[in-house]
Amino acid sequence: MEAQSQMSEQIARDVGPDGIDVAYECLGAPEAPPVLLIMGLGAQMIGWDTGFCRQLAAHGLRVIRFDNRDVGRSTHAHRPYRLQDMAADAAGLLDTLRIDSAHVVGASMGGQIAQLMALDFAARVRTLTSVMSSTGNLLVGLPRLRAIRALAQKPPKTREQMMDHAVEMFRVIGSPAYPHDEQDLRERAALSFDRGFDVDGARRQVLAMITSGDRTRRLKSVRAPTLVIHGAQDPMCAVSGGRATAKAIPGAQLAVIDGMGHNLPPGLWSKLADLICAHAWQTESRHAA
């Protein structure tokens, strides 16, 4: 069967225990090993750039990206919840797509959700890749003062403000060795605004992270082959968060990338895709043997 070359947004209904709507897109051959991409705080699935998704698909994987609850075109909850509920959403999306298990990749808050999938839905996770994330221990992965100040800014209210905010934010948290094109940032921010920007939703996600606790002890029971990727210059989640994650999970591999901050810049797509896909295919090959 030919690989699906274009991503087309769809809505999955009645997903997971809470029966929410989840906006998602797929790319790659339907029969290929699936990789589920989970984005971070307040970020929509388009945070996984289509160009990066194409690189993953070129490695022979079926790529699935989706909007977490409270962002974009998925259900906006209007009530408190925990990261465990968001992990159940992700597992529920796999149910909807009739996928028994997937290679699960999460970035930032998405890495925390992915970790919980590996704990609470272990049979659904072929491999775990935790990117620029942490364990929930408040003593590791601490943001730098400039990142805290950037987060504390008044949230944008208009489309133009959203674009300006994105540029300013990534000047603070972006990768110093891999500059991001500002016009691209503005266009992505405008699209995010159009798709469904929700300040209150982001606040509920922050509360979900705070109330979900420290996973360090539980992470010792993760059995999925695990890769931890972190930027050496991450100002939003210090590299100590990635190191603590790798230390907590038995057998986890740690890749610390010089010059990487708290984003996924185009200059790193090839390296990141190579790491993620080599990790996935190592497990696929082992199971096929």
Distance set, CA 262 to CA 13, 29, 107, 236, 249 (Å) = 32, 30, 9, 6, 22
pLDDT surpasses 90 at 5: no
Hey, which residues does 127 pair with through a beta bridge? 103
Residue ranges of domains in the chain: 10-288
Nearest CA-CA partner of 38 in 103, 96, 97, 126: 103
pLDDT surpasses 60 at 4: no
pLDDT digits (tens, 9 = 90+) for 48-70: 999 999 999 999 999 999 999 99
pLDDT surpasses 70 at 241: yes
Q: What is the CA radius of gyration of the chain?
A: 17
Residue 230, SS3?
strand
| CATH classification number, 10-288, choose in 3.40.50.261, 3.40.50.1820, 3.30.1310.10, 2.60.40.10 | 3.40.50.1820
The pTM of the full predicted model, rounded to 2 decimals, is: 0.96
pLDDT of residue 1: 33
Distance set, CA 61 to CA 26, 56, 156, 218, 279 (Å) = 10, 6, 36, 29, 12
Alpha-carbon span 223 to 123, nearest angstrom: 10
Segment (H or E) for 253: strand 253-257
| DSSP codes, 11-72 | EEEEETTTTEEEEEEEES-TTSPEEEEE--TT--GGGS-HHHHHHHHHTT-EEEEEPPTTST
